[in-house]
Structure 1
Amino acid sequence: MRDSEPLTGEPLALDLVNTRPATAGGRTDLLDTPERLAAWLALEEARMGPETGGDVPTEADLAAIHAVRAHTERAVHALLRGQEPPAAALRGLTDAQRVAPAVRELTWDGGRVTPTVRRTGPLGIRLAALLAEAAADLLTDPAIGRLRECEADDCVMLFLPANPRRRWCSAARCGNRARVARYYQRHKQAAGREQ
C-alpha cells in the first residue's frame, strides 16, 4: 500500500480524517481535487449508500467535504488528548447534517414497502451531511475511548483497534516499515559487533 493511497477500513469518519496523511513535506490532501474525491468515494461506495446518486464531484463540492473533515479532525484529536472537543467543531458537524437531513423515501417494490435514505441538494452538501452524521456516530460511540494514533514516527493516521495490542494504522503500511527498520537495526548492530 502506497502512502498516496487512502487508508480505508476504519469507521467512515476516521477514513475521512485519514485522507490527510503525513509526508516528507508535511501533510498532503488526498481529497484535493474532484477526481481524487471521486476515487475516494468509489473506495467507500459500500458505506456511502445512494448519497452520490451517480453525480460527479466538482470543485464546489470539495469545500463542504473539507469543512466536515476539519471539524471531525479537531473533535477527534481533542478526544484523543482527553480534552473537550471544540464547540465550533461540534456545531459545524451539526450544521452540516441540518443542511441536508436524511429522509427515508418510501417506495413499493411490488410486494412490500421499502425505505431508501435520501438527501436533497448538491452532491457536496449531501456528502457533507452523510459524513457529519458518520462523525456524530463515531464521536458518540463508547468505542471512541479506544481511539489511537499510529505509533510509527512519521504517521498521523488514527484507528480504532479491535485488538488492544494493535500499534499501527496498517500492517501493510506502517507495520511493515517498523519491521524492516527493526530488522535493519538488528543486522547493523550484529555487523558492528563482528568488527
Structure 2
Amino acid sequence: MDVLTGEPLALDLVNTRARTSSGAEYDALARADDCNAWLSAQSGRLTVPEAPLAAADLPAIRQLRGHVEVALAAVRDADPPPIKAVAAINEAMRAAPPYACLEAAGAVLKRGRKRDGTPLTRLLAELAEAATALLTDPDVGKVRGCEAPHCRMLFLPAHPRRRWCSPDLCGNRVRVARYHQRHKTT
C-alpha cells in the first residue's frame, strides 16, 4: 500500500499508520522495506540515510511517531501535550543537533548545515524538528482528519472546504458510494 505524502512532514510521519479501504490496519514503519520506501518519498525534504535502515531501527521511529501523534492530538484539542511526549521529541532533537558548516565547491564557499550522530539519530532529530515546527505552527488547530469511512489520515487543508485526505482516493470512494446509494435498486 502506498502511503500518501505531501502534507507537512510531521503529518506524513503520523500518516504512516493507515487503514486500507477495507478497514485493515497498515503501518509503513512495520517493515524496513516499507520504511525505506517512505523515506525515499520524503527525500526532497528529509536527509535520507546513506544506507537503508534496518529492522532494528524501526522501533525508535515508531516510538517517536507515537509521541508526535499524542502531542498533536492534545494540541488539536487545545489541551497541554503530555510531558512524556514533549520530552521524547526534545530528546530526539538533542541527540543530533544541527550545526552550521562551511562547504567548498571549487572556489565557491557556501554555508551548510550538518548533524553528528548515527543515521538513525540524525533521522529522528529531523523528524522531531518537523514535529516541533508543526506543533508550534499557529495553523496546527486547522489539522483535520479525513471524513472518509475507515480512513485515519490527517491533513492540513489549504482550502476550508477540504474534507478528505485525497480527493482522488477517499473523496472518490465517498462520491462513488453516495452515487451507488442513491441509485440502488430495491
Give yes or no for TM over 0.5.
Answer: yes
Structure 2 unaligned runs (5+)? Answer: none
2:183 is paired with a residue whose SS is helix
For 1:25 and 1:153, the matched residues in 2 are separated by: 8
For 2:112 and 2:28, the matched residues in 1 are separated by: 30
* Aligned residues of 1:61 and 1:125 also touching (Cα < 8 A): no
**Which of 21, 24, 39 does residue 41 from structure 1 map onto?**
39
* Residues 13-41 of structure 1: CA deviation (Å, up to 9, x unaligned): 00010000124465321111211111111
Alignment of 1:1-195 (within 5 A): 4-23=1-20, 24=22, 26-49=24-47, 51-52=48-49, 54-188=50-184, 191-192=185-186
2:17 is paired with a residue whose SS is coil
Deviation of residue 163 (structure 1)? 0.1
* Aligned residues of 1:151 and 1:168 also touching (Cα < 8 A): yes
Deviation of residue 58 (structure 1)? 1.0
Structure 1 unaligned runs (5+)? Answer: none
Aligned pair count reads 185
For 1:25 and 1:166, the matched residues in 2 are separated by: 22
Identity of aligned residues (%): 48
Deviation of residue 115 (structure 1)? 2.5
For 2:107 and 2:3, the matched residues in 1 are separated by: 41
2:46 is paired with a residue whose SS is helix
Larger radius of gyration: 1
**TM-score of the superposed pair, with normalisation by structure 1:** 0.89
**TM-score of the superposed pair, with normalisation by structure 2:** 0.93
For structure 1, which segment, 91-100 or 102-111, has the greater mean C-alpha deviation from structure 2 after superposition?
102-111
* Aligned residues of 1:62 and 1:124 also touching (Cα < 8 A): no
Could you tell me which amino acid in structure 1 is paired with residue 10 of structure 2?
Answer: A
* Residues 48-70 of structure 1: CA deviation (Å, up to 9, x unaligned): 13x52x22211222122112111
